[in-house]
Chains A and B, each alone.
Chain A
């Protein structure tokens, strides 16, 4: 079963506008973490933002914010004031604890974001 779902394979946004990238997850572990990574065409995965399952407030990092809705099991990434350099693949990921105590990170299939001038 898919643990991380990103339903938008591709998105377009006008420069300077805000955009929301969707992510839903599935876990029975009460303690987990959610991440967003950006992968430009160069290939490197760039860490953007983290949200812990017990965090009371939504995480923010500059122009990035995470809209965390625990009951709905969603962790959408909001990018404000889009820039041309934001064009990239965006991956949602979840960390959950395995029986071996290793915290495994599972990645979603990604959303391709294109910023239009």
Chain B
């Protein structure tokens, strides 16, 4: 089955700790994206990658970092510099940057 997987589904973190969210796709898509969703709101773009070994900041990149060493994988690290990291994080991918984005199931991060 082709698709996008995110792990873990739920993640708890203590203040001051970095944490990495996983996103993997086997759709052979070039482009991948990370979004943040806060309760009752739409999605905001954190980072995106149009191709392997390349990524760009989105609207709210501060306190986050990414890597794109493999086409299938686009992990997101939430650093201690992110002041309010508790949110729902969604990963997406598309064939290319102009095509429809398809989403993974999301990771719910809670900072204790």
Q: Which of B42, B98, B102 is close to A107, meaning CB atoms less than 8 Å apart?
A: B42
Residue total for B at the interface (Cβ-Cβ under 8 A): 22
CB of A45 within 8 Å of the partner chain:
yes
Among B42, B98, B104, B108, the most chain A Cβ lie within 10 Å of the Cβ of B42
Given contacts A44-B105, A44-B106, contact A110 B42 (CB under 8 A): yes
What residues of chain B have their CB less than 8 Å away from a CB belonging to chain A? 40-45, 48, 50, 56, 88, 90, 92, 97-98, 100-106, 108
In the assembled complex, which residues on chain B have CB atoms less than 8 Å from the CB atom of A91? 42-43
Q: Compute how far the CA of A102 lies from the CA of B57 in the bound complex, rounded to whole angstroms.
A: 12
Dominant SS at the B interface?
strand
- Which residue in chain A gives the minimum CB-CB distance to B50? A102
- Which residue in chain B gives the minimum CB-CB distance to A102? B97
Pairwise interchain contact A100-B56, C-beta atoms closer than 8 A: yes
CB of A56 within 8 Å of the partner chain:
no
Pairwise interchain contact B104-A107, C-beta atoms closer than 8 A: no
In the assembled complex, which residues on chain B have CB atoms less than 8 Å from the CB atom of A107? 42-44
Q: A42-B105, A44-B104, A50-B100 are known; give 16 further A-B pairs, CB within 8 A.
A: A43-B90, A43-B105, A43-B108, A44-B103, A44-B106, A45-B92, A47-B101, A47-B102, A91-B42, A103-B97, A103-B98, A105-B45, A107-B42, A109-B41, A110-B40, A110-B42
In the assembled complex, which residues on chain B have CB atoms less than 8 Å from the CB atom of A42? 105
